[in-house]
Structure 1
Amino acid sequence: MKAFHRVAVLMLAAVTCLIGMPVPHAAASPAVRYTNPIAERRADPHIFKHADGFYYFTATVPEYDRIVLRRATTIQGLSSAPETVIWRKHSSGEMAAHIWAPEIHFINGKWYVYFAAGRSDDIWRIRMYVLESSSANPLTGSWTERGRITTPWDTFSLDASTFVNNGVRYLLWAQQEPGISTNSNVYIARMGANPWTITGSVTRLVVPTLAWETRGFKVAEGPAVLQRNGKIFLTYSASATDANYCLGMLTASASANPLTASSWTKSPTPIFTTNEATGQYGPGHNSFTVSEDGLSDVMVYHDRNYRDINGDPLNDPNRRTRVQKVYYKSDGTPDFGIPVPDGPTPVRLRSYNLPDRFVRHWEYRAKLEPAVSPLADSQFKLVTGLTGSGTVSLESTNFPGYFLRHRNLELWVERNDGGTQFRDDASFSQRPGLAASAAVSFESINRPGSYVRHSNGLLNLQAVTDAQGRADATFVLE
């Protein structure tokens, strides 16, 4: 029955991908692991998974002079995929400077790229534009300029994005509105007869007023939509594009009218910010895609791996494209956690026999608990064992350099002291799950026959001799 359920979910995922509907999630989705960064010197990233089996990736290049596109059958494959220039800036006039934030979408059988651009005589006269291609492969086909997206004000505007809810297509964007003393706010409107025209009323959704939205500049930009669990989650970027850059979020019911401002609730605190411990600064301008099996949402974003910038952050070329899995709280809202360290993305260890509970550290003791907050307390990087290949070690996500190790048969998360004893205590043989082969178990390398298992909410190292022990020592990677 479990096998049938998984096949059914995969079939439904494939069908819904084709018709553009949200993919329903099982109670738990399997681990998706990537290696960050996905692309160096690529900011404002957008990844679109198409029905042809390819992921399409575009982003801002640091020269601000062209639009590039890659494709691959996996998200990780985008790292090494060849890159094609599909359009270059004009030599003068409109669309001749500051080519920013391209997004690629497939609408009514054609490809569209939304982007922002300035003029040769005023590089800060940023407006939104659209390209169209009817080719099956947008990397090799020709592109037609469909011109500028017209909004009620002829002012600084950028970061156009689009989504469909209840059969209606909407445009989201950021703009400077006359009479409001901000750099940009976030707006929404219904799309008209084509994907470069809006119609009807325009609704202002976000005005940056909170402290975390106004550091350096009063900015709300880069809107992106995640539709899940009967709700619409709209993330946006705030503050200056240095280490202050961060993500905020609005939430609305999928059955509400998204053109009604009161349909949306604004989170009072940022939902994704700089993390010095993991070495990630200024995460923002995100988009969303889905994992290769269609069962997990994946957030795509850029950041830098250093804080200090000389001069204008917009002239610093080193924003990188990164990805990580989106998790969900018990109420169905997304939990983005923290920007994880570079390298392999982490996993969570869910108990096989207590499926609502996860391995986490609390005051450095390893425990098993439900509804872990903060999320990163339950995320671990599975890395090559400290004793070498053939073993694995579990490194804390929010305390890099700290590993799960046994001490007096208890499991703790402690800093690697470089000693032989620590390396042995923190290295395990990863086995097929003792109670389910689709899961995993961790056998101590210096105490063979003893496994990481939970007992009374705590993790210990114990021998396994019966069915209860095998279940207690089995974990599902998510």
Structure 2
Amino acid sequence: MVSVSCGTSRDAAVTSPVIRKDSTFTNPLLDGGADPWVIQKDGFYYYMSTGVSRIFIRKTAAMSELKNAAAVTVWTAPATGPNSKNVWAPELHYLQGKWYLYYTAGATGNLATQRCFVLENSGADPMQGIWTEKGKIGDPNGDFFSIDGTVLEYHHKNYFIWSGQISGTDITQRLYIAEMENPWTLKTGRVQISMPQYDWEKNGQPVNEGPEILKNAAGQVFLVFSASSCGTDNYSLGMLRLKEDGDPLHPADWTKSPEPVFTTQVTNNVYAPGHNGFFMSKDGKENWIIYHANPQKGQGCGGARSPRMQRFTWKPDGTPDFGVPLNPYYPITKPSGE
């Protein structure tokens, strides 16, 4: 969850290769890592990505040096049980004075068993302390395929947002929201706020997943999500905008952009960019997006996906301008303040 400051001009240093080497970095940040997530607290960044059978965290004071941060395993999936297989998309949130870790997992290799779960840690540093299992989080009246949980903090309330299906036979992934009673329990039933409606959301399979919250300096709320099947090169980012002082539980208060906001860039050798996160530069002056992508076409949802990051700016109307995915190995100016 981030609140960000507005700007309207793109930083020329981000796109110019004629810069000092010690002031730049290159993507990818790591050799592999799908579904990257970053949160900032007390001068440090905590990075996570899908680990399949475990959840690990990397801690760094500078995102451009992520590769130098050790991956510390904080939770390992049990041998059996509802959260024993396919551990995906972990996200770390600091809520009500404690750390909460939301992740997706299933009971078997059958992906229909995938659900969202929660871990809690009362320690100051999520790399340390004890992680306690708080169990499954979801709507008991909609207990179907559910993945990619995240949290929206808005007007002194917390909302849980995830990707799911309407029934046990549905093949369309939709975005749902519910108000939270506490960080591990829902207060209301689920409400659908998005489903694939445009062609760019239906490649391979109709999919809306990986919801992530972004706020601009005025407090306007955007929900950036991944669209189409990750098995295609058409996997991309779409965006919803919550109207000013809107009710997150009122679907009509969300407006979807008719076009994707971040897509495959063949000329830059970036394919299927998606499942992103957001963070601020160390000095709080720049806005950055982190996402995964493939280096070649046709690589789908496998281990070729790697995390990349780049700066983004804002349009005059207050909406984010993500530009296009930059070429891996192309020098990018480090986040300001590093």
The question of a shared fold, defined as TM-score above 0.5 by the shorter chain, is answered with yes
Structure 1 counterpart of 2:73 = 85
Q: Give a deviation string over 1:341-391, Cα, whole Å, max 9, x none.
A: 1124557xxxxxxxxxxxxxxxxxxxxxxxxxxxxxxxxx9xxxxxxxxxx
Q: List runs of 5+ in structure 1 lacking aligned partners.
A: 1-19, 348-380, 382-478
Bigger relative contact order, structure 1 or 2, given CA contacts below 8 A and separation 6+? 2
Q: 2:298 aligns with which of 301, 304, 308?
A: 308
1:271-350 matches, cutoff 5 A? 271-309=261-299, 313-314=300-301, 316-344=302-330, 346=332
- For residues 9 and 239 of structure 2, what CA distance do their matches in structure 1 show? 23
Amino acid at match of 2:28: P
1:11-30 matches, cutoff 5 A? 22-25=3-6
Is contact 2:275-2:291 (8 Å) kept?
Answer: yes
| Alignment partner of 1:70 is 2:51 | no
Is contact 1:29-1:296 (8 Å) kept?
Answer: no
Q: Give a deviation string over 1:142-192, Cα, whole Å, max 9, x none.
A: 211110002131110010000211221111101111288443100111111
Structure 2 counterpart of 1:54 = 44
| Alignment partner of 1:261 is 2:251 | yes
SS in 2 for 1:270: coil
Aligned residue pair count: 321
Is contact 1:280-1:303 (8 Å) kept?
Answer: yes
What TM-score does the superposition give when structure 1 sets the normalisation length? 0.64
Q: List runs of 5+ in structure 2 lacking aligned partners.
A: 15-23
Is contact 1:272-1:339 (8 Å) kept?
Answer: yes
CA RMSD of aligned residues (A): 2.1
SS in 1 for 2:252: helix
- For residues 56 and 109 of structure 2, what CA distance do their matches in structure 1 show? 24
- For residues 42 and 58 of structure 1, what CA distance do their matches in structure 2 show? 9
1:83-162 matches, cutoff 5 A? 83-120=71-108, 122-151=110-139, 152-162=141-151
Structure 2 counterpart of 1:170 = 159
| Alignment partner of 1:200 is 2:188 | yes
Is contact 2:7-2:315 (8 Å) kept?
Answer: no
| Farther off after superposition, 170-179 or 287-296 | 170-179
Amino acid at match of 1:343: Y
Q: Give a deviation string over 1:93-130, Cα, whole Å, max 9, x none.
A: 21111000000111111111100001137454100000
Amino acid at match of 1:231: Q
Structure 2 counterpart of 1:42 = 33
Structure 1 counterpart of 2:207 = 219
Relative to structure 1, is the Cα distance of residues 37 and 21 closer, same or farther in structure 2, using a 3 angstrom cutoff?
closer
Identity %: 37
What TM-score does the superposition give when structure 2 sets the normalisation length? 0.89
1:378-393 matches, cutoff 5 A? none
Amino acid at match of 1:220: N
- For residues 317 and 21 of structure 1, what CA distance do their matches in structure 2 show? 28
Amino acid at match of 2:125: N
The alpha carbon displacement at 1:133 in A equals: 0.7
Amino acid at match of 1:322: R
Q: Give a deviation string over 1:374-412, Cα, whole Å, max 9, x none.
A: xxxxxxx9xxxxxxxxxxxxxxxxxxxxxxxxxxxxxxx
